[in-house]
Amino acid sequence: MYKRQLGAATSAFLQESDTTTPFVVGVAGSVAVGKSTIARLLRELMSRWPGTPRVELVTTDGFLYPNAELERRGLMDRKGFPESYDRRALLSFLTEVKSGAAEVRAPFYSHMRYDIVPDAHVVVRRPDVVIVEGLNVLQPPPAPNDVAVSDLFDFSIFVDADVANIERWYIDRFLALRQSAFSNPSSYFNVFAHLSDDEAVTTALGFWNEINMPNLVENVMPTKHRATLVLRKGAEHAVESVQLRKV
């Protein structure tokens, strides 16, 4: 807020266009922990603040490599792991946004197709605030002299919870999707729509134990200490504690 006011005042004094960079917030956490809900709520709240009417939400799903490329690299079973994302494209996108570009485009990911949609984009036009939500947005740089995505954040949030609770939420979400999105004949996951309750739970546990749990333990949880703010949720999704890192 203060940064935008200062930038606008400076531009006015110099009789230049206002090139104040947007405030960028990162939201990280496990699959099924509720980070998307937190990010959407944050967008709605911040859009009501004086001076920040334009708040954009971008998920890093759009920066996953297309399925064909993941297949070529042998990474389809590691979708969601850091190596399954086009890190350079995400960095380029955020750099353009931070530089004040008039319009920046991000790839569009369809959860129904389980893939990037060719020629479809999310368009961001000079926002006041950009919220970037994703599993691995707080990952450290791959090499000492590289830039981390989080280096471009002004503030970051990690959504935390007990692993046992996240596992239960993941299974509950899978069962709910089986009755809704998975039932769509055009859905990539339509094959799961006709599973019995026991079969669905077994399938969800398989995905959790083989993919999501290892990714959480190996890649997501270790980045918690990099967040500015940690929101810890209880068994019923309510936030039970808030930890703010001293600057």
Q: What's the pLDDT score for residue 18?
A: 52
DSSP for 1-62? -HHHHHHHHHHHHTT----PPPEEEEEEE-TTSSHHHHHHHHHHHHTTSTT---EEEEEGGG
Tell me the pTM. Answer: 0.90
Q: What's the pLDDT score for residue 158?
A: 98
Q: Which of 52-56, 133-137, 138-142, 149-153 has the lowest mean pLDDT?
A: 52-56
**What value does the mean pLDDT take over residues 22-30?**
97
**What value does the mean pLDDT take over residues 157-168?**
98
Query: Which residues are CB-neighbours of 189 under 8 A, at least 6 positions away?
Result: 114, 177, 181, 182
**What value does the mean pLDDT take over residues 155-182?**
95
Q: What's the pLDDT score for residue 7?
A: 45
Q: What's the pLDDT score for residue 204?
A: 97
pLDDT at position 6 over 60: no
**What value does the mean pLDDT take over residues 144-161?**
96
Helix locations, 64-113, DSSP H: 67-73, 87-98
Domain 20-244 belongs to what architecture? Answer: 3-Layer(aba) Sandwich (3.40)
Residue 116's SS3 state is: strand
**What value does the mean pLDDT take over residues 201-228?**
97
Is the Cβ–Cβ distance between 70 and 79 less than 8 Å? yes
